[in-house]
Amino acid sequence: MVSRILRILFCLLVLLGVQAAALYYQREDGAPERMFAADTIRCAIAIDRGEAMRRNVGFNYELLGAFGDENGSYMRILPPMASEECWQQLAVDSLAIVVFNTADTIPEMWRDSVVFSMPVKGDIVWAVARGNTRLLNAVNFWYSEFQNEAFYRQMSRRYFRTYNTSYLLTRIDQGPVQSLSPYDDLVRRHAARIGMDWRLLSAIIFHESQYNMDALSNMSAKGLMQVRDVTADHYGVPTDDLFDPDTNIRLGTMLFDDLLRDFREEGLDSANVIKFALASYNSGGGTLAKRREEAMDMGLDPNCWEDVAVAYSKYNTVTPAYIEAILDTYRLYQQIID
């Protein structure tokens, strides 16, 4: 009798388990469940990095993070890679999502292997492997609701308004602006950590990358603050994380703080501390040291930036122009935002 009761209870538990699973994967109306559970979702952004599309890169980076937050998943967004590699990895399940501009072309051999989400902004879609319909449905259901939220509208405004200084100059007589870039919150936080005016840090970022989170220079400097792999190694941070805005700003701020401290310890006045730190950030400490020695050989003051700039001008005016541009932008930012 007892064993029969136990068998009945076991069958009931199994039935309840099957019903629970069915509810998880399917709603009453037969549509797929909106939640997509995965510990890590590997993604890549394969948007053309041209001037017209660069805002979409940052926008979709944050959008992927919002999708992961909603679904309790870690969005592992890989560094920029060749388009061909993206589609190959998506087809073999090494990637789960590729952010793509439908105005571009998918290599013919991969076209039948992928399907697209609903458009997330203009012609931008999220591509998934053709067999991964559960993820596709989760993305579509989530985005159809998320795009109606106030946070989404604020996010769109942050990324798709102009941040050009010539435009901001027209705003001086119209009162303060609300933001300087899509990354204001990150910049404020990291600047506060070292006691630095966040507007100066924003000016550096503007002239380093034009607020382009995946900027890559000819010298392989990466991201918003154009941080190099050697800097990441110095601070013990994986180089693959250099395109992440938070990581990039954190490392760039740490480096700039170290430079400021070095010149303070030399006893330079506050104005020259900032200028020499900017010069070192732009041209490297070794180059700056040589220019200071040359200034001294010319009978100039190696602790005065204006004198050292004369030594730079023997070779080029890039670094002096860089410092002047940043300080001009900083003064503008001081006028238009607190």
pLDDT of amino acid 11? 46
Rounded Cα gap, residues 2 and 260, in angstroms: 79
Q: Are residues 176 and 145 in the same domain?
A: no
Of 11 and 70, more confident: 70
pLDDT of amino acid 138? 94
Residue with tokens 């394969």, as numbered in its chain: 46
- Look up the pTM and report it: 0.85
Q: Are residues 215 and 103 in the same domain?
A: no
DSSP code per residue over 104-160: S---GGGGGGEEE-S-SBTTEEEEEETT-HHHHHHHHHHHHHHTTSHHHHHHHHHHH
What is the domain extent for residue 82? 40-154
CATH code of the domain containing 278: 1.10.530.10
Average pLDDT for 47-74: 88
Q: Are residues 213 and 330 in the same domain?
A: yes
Q: Are residues 228 and 144 in the same domain?
A: no
Rounded Cα gap, residues 188 and 35, in angstroms: 33
**In three state form, how does the secondary structure of 68-85 look?**
HHHHCCEEEECCCCCHHH
Residue 268, in any domain of the structure: yes
Given a cut of 70, whether residue 139 has pLDDT beyond it is yes
Contacts of 162 (CB under 8 A, 6+ apart): none
Of 173 and 231, more confident: 231
In the chain, % of residues over pLDDT 90:
71
CATH code of the domain containing 103: 3.40.190.10
pLDDT of amino acid 41? 94
Of 59 and 32, more confident: 59
Digit-coded pLDDT (tens) for 101-116: 998 888 889 889 999 9
Domain end call among 126, 154, 182: 154
Given a cut of 90, whether residue 229 has pLDDT beyond it is yes
Q: Are residues 119 and 221 in the same domain?
A: no
Of 1 and 319, more confident: 319
Task: Report residue 3's pLDDT band, with 50, 70 and 90 as the boundaries.
Answer: low
pLDDT of amino acid 225? 98
pLDDT of amino acid 178? 83
- Exposure b/e, 20-45, CB count within 10 A at least 16 = b: eeeeeeeeeeeebbeebebeebbbbb
Bridge partners of residue 99, in order along the sequence: 45, 126
pLDDT of amino acid 201? 98
Residue 4, in any domain of the structure: no
Digit-coded pLDDT (tens) for 163-217: 888 777 777 777 778 889 999 999 999 999 999 999 999 999 999 999 999 999 9
Digit-coded pLDDT (tens) for 251-305: 999 999 999 999 999 999 999 999 999 999 999 999 999 999 999 999 999 999 9
Q: Are residues 289 and 179 in the same domain?
A: yes
Domain end call among 104, 123, 154: 154
Domain end call among 110, 134, 154: 154
DSSP code per residue over 11-56: HHHHHHHHHHHHHHHB-TTSPBPS----SEEEEEE----SGGGHHH
Q: Are residues 186 and 249 in the same domain?
A: yes
